[in-house]
């Protein structure tokens, strides 16, 4: 049996005498497509940067360090984000049937398709409207309210 999306496939077990549905399970396998880039500590002013200045992918501002199916990269941060993307995709697919890659992945027309994309080791600064360089509070401290 197929759902609204041709990729949605279901197996349904029905009792022949009564047509009662005994069980149903989904056959769709949500494909993870991960692309991780390493900014190599490049400083980016978020007040003046455009999307083209921060995109991750082949031929983009930050080149691909590891893509789906490739061996581990030399940079530990790249591998951690790659693994986190895989774990998140697996969790949502298993427990909610939600395909992260299909729903929030980005396609930058770089031959990598729609993918969960992330950039590591990018140093963000903000010059603000006053033209002065402001040092941002690290994300962990912002989340903890420090």
- Angle (CA) 76-87-101 rounded to 5° is 105
Q: Could you tell me the CA-to-CA distances from 67 to 33, 34, 70, 95, 104 in Å, in that order?
A: 8, 6, 6, 25, 17
Per-residue pLDDT band at 35 (split at 50, 70, 90): very high
How far is it between the farthest Cα atoms of the chain? Answer: 78
**Tens digits of per-residue pLDDT, 42-67?**
998 888 888 899 999 999 999 999 99
**Tens digits of per-residue pLDDT, 79-137?**
999 999 999 999 998 888 899 999 999 999 999 999 999 999 998 887 766 556 655 54
> What is the model's pTM?
0.68
Helix (H) or strand (E) holding 94: helix 76-96
- 128/47 Cα distance (integer angstroms): 6
| Paired tokens of 25 | 């399970």
- 78/65 Cα distance (integer angstroms): 7
């Amino acid at each position: 049996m197929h759902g609204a999306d041709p990729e949605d496939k279901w197996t349904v077990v029905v009792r022949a005498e009564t047509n009662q549905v005994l069980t149903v399970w989904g056959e769709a396998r949500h494909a993870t497509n991960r692309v991780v880039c390493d900014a190599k500590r490049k400083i980016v002013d978020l007040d003046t940067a455009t999307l083209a200045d921060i995109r991750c992918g082949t031929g983009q501002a930050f080149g691909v360090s590891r893509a789906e199916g490739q061996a581990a990269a030399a940079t530990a941060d790249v591998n951690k984000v790659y693994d986190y993307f895989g774990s998140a995709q697996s969790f949502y697919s298993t427990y909610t049937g939600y395909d992260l890659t299909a729903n929030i992945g980005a396609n930058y027309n770089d031959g990598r398709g729609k993918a969960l994309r992330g950039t590591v080791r990018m140093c963000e600064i903000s010059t603000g409207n006053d033209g002065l360089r402001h040092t941002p509070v690290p994300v962990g401290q912002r989340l903890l309210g420090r």
